[in-house]
Structure 1
């Protein structure tokens, strides 16, 4: 049995991985795939790849492209979710912020620097025409940390995936002022280069198994109810999410990689670019 460590956020996007693990599909191929939930998100996942705490990360595209350009010795082996991620822009329910423009000089709660909540706040600010050099960030680590920070007035707004945050909106803790979709495929699968070199066959098997599952994922009977139950979501919200989500079994192509990296450079998120050959494979 070969042990492979994998990490990702504890969110509905990773239901296919949980199903494959629980069904013993990796074990059937003599792979002990050990999953770690990382509620802190992409910044923490990048750190885990760098420090060898995980072999594989299911990770936001913008975060891992930024970190590979900054020296992370990992490669993007394929796209996992082809469609954009819908980032909700949230404020405390009782706050005075009523529209997006009210947030121009507001403090942004982020899970950590280099995370999706950090990078997408910059993307959104640029789209609104705000001066991104004047942005103020407050590190909150997790969704619970964001709820506390916004409720206590320690930060003003928080960007997180629309559907995972909707229960907090429905409970009247947050208000959503709008949504900001990523201008690129949202999730990719990244693997440490050392692991790719030494365990290429096992990694290939892992990808074959997850790709078979995502190809038929939307057609699994009652999958919407299973997702809703596991992640404490409303069934109708899960249906809405499934309707706008397209899985991928393909490599990240050169054009898409260049477009992502060019946009990150234009936003000032990265200062030095890397090559497609270094970042994807």
Structure 2
């Protein structure tokens, strides 16, 4: 394989993606002839989907439901494997000073979302379904990032916001957000997806990249003091990180048909998509590397 094949990859600046940064710091990709260029995408899945479409990213570590929806909508990308198999635990947040203490009291609330097609957008429909709300009536406020959500809820531009429960814990602790409940995705949190052009041109490099990151995620929880490292790096409490480590499972599996069926069933039920899609239209099986490589 030619040396120094460039792969541009994006992901959210959150604890899930620390294994990538550890591998980059160790020159693990460079030693395999890959110039892995990481880009933080704080706006999340909707923005990453756009960057894949525009080929400003080759690869994204992205929410499962978001990329499935965008591939159905025409994104020329494919899912290479699951990255985090455990569900994502979403916190449902309201302004810290609001009198309401139950989500049901905020049926007419405007919901802050990072991007259309993002997890915060898609999970709003599942939240509405949980509480029997009419999904046609949901109003959204586009806020781009977590900082944008803080501004929107603090100024009453929006009254509800869904985001990963552990990343928002410091904001809840400060009284800026009030967490009303949590809602877990009924599917794996994150997958690794690549553009079809990248797959065509860099198939072997992608296989090497996956082999490396899967080695790092397999060992990640056993790194000494990893809880304190994550807490320090992402400004979280060690106790919260320990809870997150207990419930988070990394994976090197391919996406299962049963998982896709669940996502499609949920999305069709709330009107996000109108058609089924075959598993082979969503995934791509990279060739396995030879053992001696």
Class of the TM-score when normalised by the shorter of the 2 chains: over 0.9
Q: Is the Cα contact below 8 Å between 2:58 and 2:194 reproduced in 1?
A: yes
Task: Confirm or deny that 1:74 pairs with 2:108.
Answer: no
Task: Confirm or deny that 1:152 pairs with 2:165.
Answer: no
Q: For 1:168, which of 171, 186, 199 is the aligned residue?
A: 171
Q: Tell me, which stretches of 5 or more residues in structure 2 are unaligned?
A: 285-293
Q: For 1:215, which of 213, 218, 239 is the aligned residue?
A: 218
The structure 1 segments of at least 4 consecutive aligned residues displaced by more than 6 Å after TM superposition are none
* Distance in 2 between residues matched to 1:56 and 1:244, nearest whole Å: 26
TM-score (normalizing by structure 1):
0.98
**Which residue does 2:244 correspond to in 1?**
241
Q: Is the Cα contact below 8 Å between 1:88 and 1:179 reproduced in 2?
A: yes
* Distance in 2 between residues matched to 1:37 and 1:103, nearest whole Å: 33
* Distance in 2 between residues matched to 1:254 and 1:147, nearest whole Å: 37
1:70-100, Cα deviation, whole Å (9 max, x unpaired): 0000001100001100000011111232211
* Distance in 2 between residues matched to 1:257 and 1:280, nearest whole Å: 10
SS in 1 for 2:168: helix
Report the more deviating stretch, 265-274 or 224-233: 265-274
Task: Confirm or deny that 1:109 pairs with 2:82.
Answer: no
1:262 deviation in Å? 2.2
Task: Confirm or deny that 1:39 pairs with 2:42.
Answer: yes
Aligned length: 281
* Distance in 1 between residues matched to 2:274 and 2:48, nearest whole Å: 21
1:255 deviation in Å? 2.0
1:155 deviation in Å? 0.5
Task: Confirm or deny that 1:184 pairs with 2:199.
Answer: no
Q: For 1:54, which of 53, 57, 61 is the aligned residue?
A: 57
Task: Confirm or deny that 1:19 pairs with 2:28.
Answer: no
Q: Is the Cα contact below 8 Å between 1:62 and 1:264 reproduced in 2?
A: no
1:26-71, Cα deviation, whole Å (9 max, x unpaired): 0111111000000000000000000001000000011000000000
**Which residue does 2:204 correspond to in 1?**
201
1:261 deviation in Å? 1.8
* Distance in 1 between residues matched to 2:138 and 2:266, nearest whole Å: 18
Q: Tell me, which stretches of 5 or more residues in structure 1 are unaligned?
A: none
Q: Is the Cα contact below 8 Å between 2:186 and 2:262 reproduced in 1?
A: no
